[in-house]
Structure 1
Amino acid sequence: MGVTIKDVAKEAGVSSSTVSRVISDSPMISERTKRKVRQIMDDMGFHINENARNLVRQSTNTIGIVMKSSASESLHDPFFPEVLRGISSWCHKQDFSISLTTGESEEAIFQDVVKMVRGKKVDGIIVSYSKQDDKVVPYLMECGIPFVVIGKPLDGMSEITYIDNDNVKAAREASEYLIERGHDKIGYIGMSLEFEMAKYRLQGFKEAVLLNQVDISDEYIKNPASPDLIRNAVNELMDLDMPPTGIVIIDDLSALNALTILREKDIKVPDDVSVISFNNTVIANFSNPKLTSIDTQIFQLGYESARCLIEEIKDPSLFKKSIIIPTNIVERESALSLTNKDLGHIPNTDVEKNVEV
């Protein structure tokens, strides 16, 4: 039979209730007594029964993570694994576990969330996206369970803790990066505008075009409803009478697909068209050519979301907050200055240009 609380109490010369309070880190027990009891616990090989402890505290020490789409699709996008790495890093420090939704459809993902909440399987939830007409966030607000959103909520911002980038400014900076390098025919490839990130990045692109008096018609803007339609977007842009000399693309994965399609069309990047994308994932550094990309500090988005959520779990009275993670441009090979084109100039790889947010 293993060492029990009574065994530790007897060895330490204290009551069993004192040992229990030491385990729960009660402020009623002095630091001197805590140190003594913990040392005896270590010496005797006493291990806390986490299941029993959590039942008493009505806690699971687990947080749920709601993926943007099916597990297979989310894990193929390098954005989500990096967010997960950030979440896991803080959870490990706080002795929290994580539980992922596994549904393959929007409705199945929602039902996963319902099971997590009703089954009391988690203490709180991180929603890894912000999407129009999504059922998850309204459900969590109704249930009263602690939760955090990665992305700016479309409704009820004052009632929700969220972590995000300034996507409008980041997209404006990305677009101006090309404009400053002589590109006055710029295309934009986004995604479905039901996601807040897509809506705000498109807004930033339009602001840059307007502020810099660049004449761009709507035919230069493409928002494919799914990744499968990126090929159509690239073809439509490059088949214009005056095709763009530069393209802003919503993320590295979409940009990688675009590079493949451009190569098939015998269009060279950056000689014929420059490309800048977002997120600065591993894809950006290993694509051919390497992608100039906006570093959205994905790890930090996950890390801060976990930190805020666990703080709220431990103290539900905390005010809701918003945290904006700064971005910066990482210059590589995919974007060329037209003024230097005849010189064959390509920016040095992995040069960071800070963007104030």
Structure 2
Amino acid sequence: MYKTDDAQGQKRLKGYIKAHREYKAAINPNNIITYCTENEQSKPFDALQQLIDTKTGRPTGMVCYNDQLVLKLMDVLRENDIRIPEDISFIGYDDSLLAEISEVKLTSVIHPKSQLGLDAAKAMIKMIDKKGTYIDNKELSMLYEPHIKERQSTITLKKNSNVS
């Protein structure tokens, strides 16, 4: 589930699709759920309910826009007697404090907050030093290698399981 009205959500979705392509893993487009700020309080929950109501083709795992969304979606799963990770695995983004304090500790993509802050400060200093001089965005752009903090919300599937 990805929020698409901000660059962060768009890039996370793009990365999700790219990883599937690189690993030659099948993607069911019906299982990619997007939402925006105006419907973020309803669409993710309604879409998850529809996915779990489906008896065939139900996903075995989900990747969500952030850890906060996973925690909110847990209520829908609880109401439907669906267990994490036994019935469905979840991965969030940000590796926030929420990932550690949730009832099921969340597997999450680490968001290098301290390094981001340090790099942002360096970029601002560079812009100040070069005041009045054109700076190419590529000169200021940073790319961070993703790392996953594995916790309790994911399990390894048996070879014959359907992955989506």
- Which bin holds the TM-score, normalised by the shorter protein? 0.7 to 0.9
After TM superposition, give the deviation of residue 257 of structure 1 in Å: 1.0
After TM superposition, give the deviation of residue 217 of structure 1 in Å: 2.4
**Residues 307 and 318 of structure 1: is their aligned pair in 2 closer, same or farther, counting only changes over 3 Å?**
farther
After TM superposition, give the deviation of residue 239 of structure 1 in Å: 1.9
Q: Which runs of 5+ in 1 are unaligned?
A: 1-188, 341-357
Which residue of the partner structure matches residue 337 of structure 1?
Answer: 156
What does 1:63-102 align with in structure 2 at a 5 Å threshold? none
Which residue of the partner structure matches residue 8 of structure 2?
Answer: 197
Matched residue SS, 1:294: strand
Superposition TM-score, scaled by structure 1 size: 0.39
Among 326, 342, 345, which residue is 2:145 paired with? 326
Deviations 1:96-146 (A, max 9, x none): xxxxxxxxxxxxxxxxxxxxxxxxxxxxxxxxxxxxxxxxxxxxxxxxxxx
Structure with max Cα Rg:
1
After TM superposition, give the deviation of residue 318 of structure 1 in Å: 7.3
Q: Which has the higher contact order (CA 8 A, sep 6+)?
A: 2
Among 291, 300, 307, which residue is 2:106 paired with? 291
After TM superposition, give the deviation of residue 260 of structure 1 in Å: 2.2
Which amino acid in the other structure matches residue 305 of structure 1?
A
| Distance in 2 between residues matched to 1:215 and 1:201, nearest whole Å | 18
**Residues 323 and 210 of structure 1: is their aligned pair in 2 closer, same or farther, counting only changes over 3 Å?**
closer
Q: Which runs of 5+ in 2 are unaligned?
A: 160-164
**Residues 318 and 215 of structure 1: is their aligned pair in 2 closer, same or farther, counting only changes over 3 Å?**
closer
Alignment pair present for 1:222 and 2:38: no
Stretches (4+) displaced over 4 A: none
Deviations 1:52-79 (A, max 9, x none): xxxxxxxxxxxxxxxxxxxxxxxxxxxx
Which amino acid in the other structure matches residue 83 of structure 2?
K
Among 32, 38, 47, which residue is 1:233 paired with? 47
Count residues in correspondence: 151
Matched residue SS, 1:247: strand
Which residue of the partner structure matches residue 82 of structure 1?
Answer: none
CA RMSD across the alignment: 2.1
Which amino acid in the other structure matches residue 282 of structure 1?
L
Among 308, 319, 323, which residue is 2:123 paired with? 308
After TM superposition, give the deviation of residue 202 of structure 1 in Å: 1.5
After TM superposition, give the deviation of residue 308 of structure 1 in Å: 1.6
After TM superposition, give the deviation of residue 283 of structure 1 in Å: 0.7
What does 1:138-153 align with in structure 2 at a 5 Å threshold? none
Which amino acid in the other structure matches residue 236 of structure 1?
Q
